[in-house]
Structure 1
Amino acid sequence: MISRYSDGAFHSSHQLFTKAGDGLYNVSFCGTNYWTRPRTVAWMQWETENGRNVNVEFNGGKGWLRVCLDPQEQVKLADLGIGSDYTVVLALDEDELAHSERFSKVRKGLEDYSNSGRIGDSYHKR
């Protein structure tokens, strides 16, 4: 995954994987399956919002070949089941993100339940 300035000059890159691994999510860019970290998906959005072009590129020894244009339009954090803002994902490491998302999912699961507002009896009042 390569980010380039509007003139085509290299800016930065992230690695895509062809095999599953810890902390990796299966995604598809232009019909090809890859494995990636959530941070890479968040990075794609950061790069495009800052005016750079992101593409999936391959170098087979004869220069860089673009194999998929605009991957940020094909995969979003929500597709990975991550509800956090991309800036949060960029700021957290993978373990912190998993911890953060776990509590986010618990909170979302409890949203439909309400509290009567009545203070319950304590153990000592019984």
Structure 2
Amino acid sequence: MKRSVLTIAIALLLGSGSWSGTAYAKSDFYIRSQFSSGGFIGSHEILTSPKTGYHEARYCDRTFWVSSTTVLWTEEQSESGRTLLLEENVDDNREVICDNANEFATLDDIGLEPDEIDRLRDHGPPGSTRPSRLRIIRDAFKSFK
């Protein structure tokens, strides 16, 4: 009996830190696209550590790892005149880290081969079957240089 009371007391003392309500916050980073009025369009998560298939990229003087699809998406959003924001999300709080799209990585910055960059810009990511409206408009004006 004394042994079980002692065991419970030790467990309560050692485990009391988890009952304090203190949680270690985990940050997530997103590139968010919005209309000039502030209305949400979409977002892509970017990573703070390497992952297979992702490329090292600089956003607003910070290093992240992103997919080529995310970089293509940011280029298209920027060309469309959308506002791009780099946000850090911690728990329920969002903080804008940077709102200067000129400091965002492009496909040319992430170490892809030129033919892969051309393929992505002309046809979209693998599996994409529907051309974007921007690509159609861009292609229509290519001869007006």
Q: Settle same-fold status: TM greater than 0.5.
A: yes
C-alpha spacing 1:46/1:21, structure 2 compared with 1 (3 Å): same
Aligned partners of 1:38 and 1:89 also within 8 Å: no
Equivalent in the alignment of 2:110: 80
The equivalences for 1:5-84 within 5 A come to 5-61=35-91, 63-82=93-112, 83=114, 84=117
- Aligned-pair identity in percent equals 26
Aligned length: 93
For residues 37-70 of structure 1, give each alpha carbon's deviation from its aligned partner in whole angstroms, at most 9, with x where no partner exists. 1111111110111121111112324543210123
Which stretches in structure 2 are left out of the alignment for 5+ residues?
1-30, 128-145
TM-score, normalization: structure 2? 0.56
Task: Let me know the Cα RMSD of the aligned residues.
Answer: 2.0
The alpha-carbon deviation at position 25 of structure 1 amounts to 0.8
8 Å Cα contact 1:3-1:10 kept in structure 2 = yes
Letter of the structure 2 residue corresponding to residue 14 of structure 1: H
Question: Is 2:138 the partner of 1:91?
Answer: no
Which consecutive residues of structure 1, in runs of 5 or more, have no partner in the other structure?
94-126
Is contact 1:24–1:38 with CA below 8 Å preserved after alignment? yes
User: CA offsets, 1:50-107, max 9 Å, x none?
Assistant: 12111111232454321012345442111122322353463325xxxxxxxxxxxxxx
Q: Scaled by the length of structure 1, what TM-score is found?
A: 0.63
Task: Answer whether contact 1:44 1:72 (CA < 8 A) is retained.
Answer: no
Q: Equivalents in 2 of 1:89, 1:55: separation in Å?
A: 25
3-state SS, counterpart of residue 81 of structure 1: coil
Q: Partner letter of residue 59 of structure 1?
A: N
Report the AA paired with residue 64 of structure 1.
R
